[in-house]
Amino acid sequence: MQRIALFPGTFDPITIGHLDIINRALPLFDKLVIGIGRNINKVPMFSEEQRVNWIREIYRDTPQVSAVVYEGLTVNCCQLVGANFILRGIRYVNDFEYEKAIADMNRSLDHNIETVFLTCLPQYTSVASTLVRDVLRNGGDVTQFLPEVVAKSLQK
């Protein structure tokens, strides 16, 4: 059985913190699907197409990484892509409490799907898409927080 993980999030935009989790997860899984979730409570800054394109460009030489857009329950997306793991990144202790509650609910919905938590490296704890968007909206330079592909596309 292949070890397939879904890494769900909005990735609006994808940051170096996300890449830290993705890159460190690659040796753990045969396939890693980046799931861009539609969240009715959030209005994204970047289109789904743009976010998918960034991921595909960043990982164009890594065939085990793919990207999908999904709506609804994360466990349903797992079932659609054949994932038996959900990957989540943890920055702070309170992230763990929140993510554990979600993991417990997901396990209740589908007992075949296990959540795997990776803690981010200390230098990435303050890197969050929400903060990056705030800096962008206010005209600040976010280059240091973004993968080169994303930073270059924003400069255009």
Active site residues: 18, 42, 91, 129
Q: Are 30 and 141 in contact (CB under 8 A)?
A: no
Q: Which segments within 30-129 are labelled E, that is strand?
A: 31-38, 65-71, 85-90, 114-119
- Rounded Cα distance between 156 and 42, Å, is 25
Cβ-proximal residues to 30 (8 Å cutoff; 6+ apart), any chain: 2, 3, 4, 64
Its sign, for the CA torsion 138, 140, 144, 147, is: positive
Q: Are 105 and 73 in contact (CB under 8 A)?
A: no
